[in-house]
Amino acid sequence: MIIGLGMQVKVLALAPDATDVAMSLFSGIFNLGIGAGALVGNQISLHVSMSAIGYLGAIPAAIALVWSVLIFRKWPVALEERVNNG
């Protein structure tokens, strides 16, 4: 819940002139992630086992963490400058 709120604040800060479009895209992407997680979890429970869901779910979470760290290290100031300069 807290992470989602923080991401919404960042989206609104990056698109102050088009908040309705930005929030609708954010909501769509967020719901797509929920649906994809449910689909993958279903397939894992059907083909592997229920006990493997957590372990196999950690794989895309770790990939997302590494990807996020790399992105924020590559462009640490670019987003802040864009927000501050308008």
How many Cβ atoms from other residues are within 10 Å of residue 86's Cβ? 6
Domain count of the fold of the chain: 1
CA-CA distance, 53 to 71, in Å (whole number)? Answer: 27
Q: Please write the tens of the pLDDT for every residue from 5-25.
A: 878 888 888 888 988 998 999
Task: Choose among 7, 35, 34, 36: nearest CA to 23.
Answer: 7
Domain range spanning residue 53?
2-85
The conformational region for residue 75 under phi > 0 = left, psi -120 to 50 = alpha, else beta, is beta
Are the C-beta atoms of residues 47 and 39 closer than 8 Å to each other? Answer: no
75: pLDDT strictly greater than 80: no
Q: Each residue of 29-58: pLDDT tens digit?
A: 989 999 999 999 999 999 999 999 999 999
Q: State the pLDDT at residue 34.
A: 93
What is the model's pLDDT at position 77? 62
pTM of the full predicted structure?
0.64
Q: How far apart are CA 35 and CA 29, in angstroms?
A: 10
CB atoms within 10 A of CB 56: 14
